[in-house]
Amino acid sequence: MKLDFEYIVLGLGGFGSAAAYWLSRRAGKEVLGLEQFELGHVRGESQDHSRIIRLSYHTPGYVELAKFAFRAWEELERDSGEQVVLRTGGLDVGPRESAIPLSSYSDSMDAAGVQYEKLDAREIMRRWPQWRLTDDMHGLFQERGGIAMAARGNAAHVRMAREHGATLLERTPVEAIRPAAGAVEVRTADATYRCRRLVITAGAWSNRALAPVGLELPLRVTKEQVTYFAPPNLPAFQPERFPVWIWMDDPCFYGFPAFGEPGPKVGQDAGGQETTGDTRTFDPDLEARDRVIRFLERHLPGALGPIIYTKTCLYTLTPDWDFVLDRLPHQPEIAVAVGGGHGFKFASLVGQILSELSIDGQAPRDLAPFRIDRPILGMKDPPRTYMV
């Protein structure tokens, strides 16, 4: 077994499988990926039928980044011959007076030259009679929004990385890493590998992976969940008739048309309790599910029906909800990505950027907001905000 690689990826969830893919396009057999569980496992952040992808974001920087995210998925689709993004349109909707003002989304799209429509409550209900809204509510519709097919995208990254020559090993936890004279040693139970560049994409286990290099980020891991409902009128919730949506208020809810299961999927953003990757359970939080049901009774009653299932999942949150996407200041041979609660839409792009940071030492994107040494990540008790 080969033990020396140019590039090793630690953790093969959404970001790591993408990094292995993009690295393998340029470095083929010189790429090793190591995953502690089986590939496609459900203990992390990236495994379900669908994640929202959208251009509508609260800063022009994210809108620009989202444009590149669509391109990265398109490149994977061309290379793999598989569809991984489904356009449904995306609706941001909520009270005019809300905790998450829509103006920052429309201003950001204006600044980035992205077209969208401002809709009042009546127009939203005319187009999508599934909604029940009052006159003090409004929305934004952006036609490129839709579904990033998470499980399928991850599988496509894995398959194509292997086709390009990468070695991806599952059930192979990395026990320790050790920088060693411009290289990095990566130890598993059975072997010690060496690489010139290491990519750490360890999600909820990021701090454990970073501990040997003396780094601890103020990450908060929460157990989140989504619920699939079987509605009485399933055709009304097909992707051609019902866009992905986000309720822009606190609490913030979001949902999907029927995709992957015979009914729409709904969740509350950041409605979960703090946990860890190892101690979390898979039990649904019944109170959180009740909040979703109360919301649907008020605003999307037709989506309600027997529960198909509730699926739990983890968020790994930075205090400002911005990603970490950087090389370590004192060990530039190591690059890290942590995605927060909104990273999947960017997964392929994050993999591409990680490959550029590792191979070229830089990426042609503005990564300043994602620096690992930004002040908030150095604070003991940082203020925590969210608006994504």
- Which residues make up the interface to ligand FAD (CB under 6 A)? 10-16, 34-37, 44-46, 51-52, 173-174, 201-203, 205, 209, 224, 226, 267, 313-315, 339-345
- Take residue 207 and report the two structure tokens written for it: 């701090």
Q: Are 294 and 331 in contact (CB under 8 A)?
A: no
Q: Are 158 and 39 in contact (CB under 8 A)?
A: yes
Closest to ligand FAD by CB, 121 or 355: 355
Closest to ligand FAD by CB, 121 or 323: 323
Helices (H), 95-149: 102-111, 121-127
Cβ at position 136, least distance to ligand FAD in Å? 26
Helices (H), 189-285: 206-210
| Share in percent of the chain as helix, strand, coil (round to 5) | 35, 25, 40
Strands in the chain per DSSP E: 4-10, 31-34, 51-53, 85-87, 90-95, 117-120, 137-142, 146-148, 167-169, 176-180, 183-187, 192-200, 220-229, 244-247, 253-256, 265-268, 273-274, 307-317, 324-327, 334-338
Cβ at position 28, least distance to ligand FAD in Å? 22
Closest to ligand FAD by CB, 114 or 150: 150
Closest to ligand FAD by CB, 10 or 137: 10
Cβ at position 54, least distance to ligand FAD in Å? 8
Q: Are 131 and 70 in contact (CB under 8 A)?
A: no
Cβ at position 369, least distance to ligand FAD in Å? 16
* Phi and psi torsions of 190, nearest 5°: -105, -15
Torsion of CA 141, 143, 148, 152, to 10 degrees: 140
Cβ at position 254, least distance to ligand FAD in Å? 6
Cβ at position 66, least distance to ligand FAD in Å? 9
Cβ at position 209, least distance to ligand FAD in Å? 5
Residue in the shown chain whose Cβ atom is closest to ligand FAD = 13
Cβ at position 337, least distance to ligand FAD in Å? 6
Closest to ligand FAD by CB, 50 or 121: 50
Task: Report the Cα 79 to chain-centroid distance in Å.
Answer: 21
- CA distances in angstroms from 68 to 63, 78, 388, listed in the order given: 9, 15, 17
Q: How many residues does the chain have?
A: 388
Cβ at position 16, least distance to ligand FAD in Å? 5
Closest to ligand FAD by CB, 6 or 45: 45
Closest to ligand FAD by CB, 34 or 195: 34
Closest to ligand FAD by CB, 121 or 225: 225
Strands 265-268 and 192-200, bridge-based pairing = unpaired
Closest to ligand FAD by CB, 130 or 275: 275
- What is the spatial distance between Cα 34 and Cα 21, in angstroms, rounded to a whole number? 13
- What is the spatial distance between Cα 182 and Cα 372, in angstroms, rounded to a whole number? 20
